[in-house]
A = this chain, B = another copy of it.
Amino acid sequence: MLENITQAQIKQMTLKELLALCEEAREKITETVLKSGGHLSSNLGMVELTVALHYVFDFPKDKVVFDVGHQCYTHKLLSGRCGDFSTIRQKGGLSGFPKRAESEFDCYDTGHAGTSVSAALGIAKARDVKGEDFSVIAVIGDGSFNNGLVYEAFNSLRLLNTNVLLILNDNGMSIAPTVGSMHEYLEILSEDISHKQKKDRHAKIFERFGFAYDGVYDGNDLERMIDKLTEVKNRLKNESVILHVITKKGKGYSFCEENPEATHGISIKNAEAVTEEYSAVLGRTLSRLAEKDERIVAVTAAMTTPLGLSDFFKKYPKRSVDVGICEEHATILCASMATEGLKPYYAVYSTFLQRSFDEIVIDICEQNLPVTLCIDRAGISGADGETHQGVFDLSFLNFIPNLTVAVPKDTKEFEKMLEFSANFNAPLAIRYPRAGKRIFDIQSEIVLGKWEKLIDANGKYVIIACGERAVTLGIVAAETLSASGIAVSVINARFVKPLDTEILDNLKETHIITVEDNMLLGGFGSLIDVYFSESDKKVKNFAYGDGFIPHGGVNELMDEFGVSSGAIVDYIKSNEN
């Protein structure tokens, strides 16, 4: 039924047909994700709720914003994208997140947590200003519900004087189990059996902000969800409503239901060998360092396991904090703990660190505090696309005073950098990709601001690269060119800031090629351009140009966006002619 289904057809269906539609969607999602990777258990939990939304509301006239957005698969299947669904998260295929550019049924692009309530309010406000008439819905998980943005949006509901429906999809998990007091409060609510009683006792916290609170409902019970949404749709003419819905993450597949964290995101193993993930090195090394150094504490924002820190958290519970999806708060906790002499490590994905920009500037760096940012999934991260690429971090960190920025060339160097960090008494950022794929032979001691020569070829060209991917490209390019008789040196710029001015000032090569897995503007190469702006050296930068990078495989995207050994080789060869 799913194939080519229309909104009109959905509305004509009997309950029995709708239930069959749910099963078909569930199978399609499971089959596709197990084959190509993607978000599994969150989408399985959302099937009935999404079918009910499409049955009751009138999309695309009505608008639904999915918080974070990875739970939108059923919505995609029901809105004309079933035929392309097998291409999801692959280069050129459907996005794994809502995209306005992909379908008129996607009204707002999401990717980072907590934005849906603000976005729904803005859409509703615009509707009111224009004098139009449609419903606006935000669907937000209990994990995102921790984020401060939700409170900011709540706080302005009465000000904006508009009506939205907020569906709180409570499955007790972000990626890891949800933490924090609001979650505990939601748990109390969800354990109530009699709705009447519960509403009277507990709804006040939401009513204060202008929402009518309704729930708890079983979001996997299609019939009840349809009835409830039909009722709520009418109420939206006069008020904003929070509908508290319990769904089962992984619903319908016992393995997913029993392992919701492990099946949140499914990665399809690449043929390429991975020596070790950087996260594993972080966890192992930090645990070891913490044995001898009682000042070390670790902070995460709802990502403890994928960041490699679950063992650390078990071993040092008093020195570990997972604050939930609150990246700004996590950053200030680190800064303030550092003021009292602790040595905090904040581990975070590159893309989510964007949320902490102001706190890195003001709280960590202006106070010059010894916080270490361990920035995982840096560079192109791949299948999640535009909103998740870690290609901006060097650009938004490089110009912050007092901050040292380090980029290890392999997991072994990362381990050494972590050892270095333990005795480093100032703000430090270390950025690295997920997968470590090779270990280089040369492993010199880590000294602040000192680079490492990997190939000294005594020619006209030198490649200066930072990070494992870029250094690997540099080495491959140099070896290829060497075979053609062109001598190219290669330097590992393990510190992007400060630059190794001793090496730069004494370069005998006249033509510098920089390579990095980051945006050109503000990135590593641009620092070299600035350094040599008055000199006669020629500098050519290999980095990402001025555009967002969509989803796809890491290597294919790096190739397409111009950071490849082939592009370096071609450039140097063309320069020789």
Contact = CB atoms under 8 A, between A and B. Distances in A.
Interface string A166-205: 0000000000000111101100000000000000000011
A517 interface: no
Interface centre among A146, A205, A323, A528 (most CB of B within 10 A): A323
Contact of A149 (B119, B148, B354, B525): B148
A223 interface: no
A155 B129 contact: no
A121 B546 CA distance: 40
Nearest to A518: B399
A155 B324 contact: yes
Interface in A149-169: 149-160
Interface in A120-163: 120-123, 125-130, 146-160
A219 B563 CA distance: 61
Contacts of A130: 340-342
B522 A129 contact: no
A336 B120 contact: yes
Interface in A523-567: 523, 525-530, 532-534, 536, 538-541, 546-548
Copy number in the complex reads: 2
A118 interface: yes
A337 B533 contact: no
Given A180-B159, A209-B181, A367-B109, A536 B533 contact: no
A334 interface: yes
A394 to B, nearest CB: 9
Interface residues of A, number: 110
Interface stretch (A273-281, A358-366, A445-453): A358-366
Residue in A297, A398, A530 whose Cβ sees the most chain B Cβ within 10 Å: A530
A290 to B, nearest CB: 12
Given A321-B160, A332-B119, A155 B182 contact: yes
A77 interface: no
A45 to B, nearest CB: 23
A521 B527 contact: yes
A120 B541 CA distance: 44
- Most-contacted residue by chain B among A127, A130, A328, A358 (CB, 10 A): A358
A386 to B, nearest CB: 5
A129 B332 contact: no
A202 B33 CA distance: 48
A357 B331 CA distance: 15
Contacts of A100: 339, 367
Contact of A148 (B122, B123, B152, B526): B152
A78 interface: no
Contacts of A546: 399, 401
Chain B CB within 10 A, most for which of A129, A130, A336, A386: A336
Given A146-B152, A155-B324, 19 more contacts: A100-B339, A109-B363, A112-B358, A121-B333, A122-B337, A122-B339, A125-B337, A126-B339, A146-B155, A148-B150, A148-B328, A152-B323, A152-B328, A155-B323, A159-B181, A362-B387, A392-B399, A529-B529, A529-B530
Smallest CB-CB A-B distances: 10 pairs: A148-B148, A122-B336, A126-B340, A151-B151, A152-B329, A399-B521, A118-B332, A152-B326, A354-B358, A357-B357
